[in-house]
């Protein structure tokens, strides 16, 4: 990371934009996911981004300009069963970004959060594979089967937005004179975030369970 930032500054004399895009979905019941894997999820989705931010900020502060774009997720605003560790990283990224935005305002550095909905990438398949591997043969198997089917289904892929939607949004954010603090884009991002704000917790839980096909009653 240090070598990469140093190389950019040596070549161009400055660094204007950081886009933190790395991330994956480590799905599985919170009870089932080994803590080493939970830590790895936070290392990729949170601490990697935080370290890059630390490395670019001395340069951005010195030039009194720059934009940091953190790719979060609608998963930083909503929750789904068996995604606790993933959602935990995205909720953390949202909070980190808000604090950072206030800290950096006096230095002329912008912080933008992009909250993608369903995007047509390998993310869903990877999350589904992790879920089956982790909870497919445990007490949570019924939920895991339903969630994995939803995450990796052809119908989900067809409804998903192309990655260009996110690329275009990042371009818009880093070229705007006064960018918005958040951009919710891609399939489902805005309506699901709205429903999470509008519905009581248990009503939202029931809605998600119905949409994902996960069981809600106790198994007898």
Catalytic residues: 86
> Strands of 182-185's sheet, edge to edge?
17-20, 66-71, 109-116, 182-185
What's the rounded Cα separation, in Å, for the pair 57 and 174? 16
Helix H, strand E, coil C: the string for 150-163 is HHHCHHHHHHCECC
Q: How many Å apart are CA 125 and CA 59, to the nearest integer?
A: 38
Compute CA distances 2 → 9, 49, 51, 54, 67, whole Å: 11, 13, 9, 10, 19
- Produce one character per residue of 207-220: b if its CB has 16 or more CB atoms within 10 Å, e if not: ebbeebebeeeeee
Closest CA to 132 of 149, 113, 108, 155: 149
Q: What are phi and psi of 121, to 5 degrees?
A: -135, -175
- 218: tokens are 């106790």
């Amino acid at each position: 990371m240090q070598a990469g930032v140093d190389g950019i500054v040596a070549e161009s004399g400055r660094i204007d934009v950081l886009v933190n895009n790395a991330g994956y979905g480590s799905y599985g019941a919170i009870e089932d996911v080994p803590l080493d894997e939970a830590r790895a999820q936070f290392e990729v989705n949170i601490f990697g981004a935080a370290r890059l931010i630390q490395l670019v900020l001395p340069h951005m502060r010195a030039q009194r300009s720059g934009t940091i774009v953190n790719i979060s997720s609608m998963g930083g605003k909503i929750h789904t069963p068996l995604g606790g560790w993933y959602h935990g990283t995205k909720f953390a990224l949202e909070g980190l970004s808000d604090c950072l935005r206030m800290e950096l305002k006096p230095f002329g550095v912008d912080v933008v959060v992009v909250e993608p909905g369903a995007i047509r990438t390998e993310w869903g398949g990877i999350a589904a594979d992790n879920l089956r591997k982790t909870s497919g043969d445990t007490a949570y198997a019924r939920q895991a089967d339903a969630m994995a089917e939803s995450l990796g289904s052809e119908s989900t892929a067809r409804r998903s937005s192309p990655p260009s939607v996110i690329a275009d949004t990042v371009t818009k954010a880093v070229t705007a004179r006064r960018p918005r603090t958040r951009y919710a884009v891609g399939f489902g991002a805005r309506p699901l975030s709205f429903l999470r704000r509008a519905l009581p917790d248990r009503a939202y839980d029931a809605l998600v369970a119905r949409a994902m096909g996960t069981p809600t009653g106790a198994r007898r």
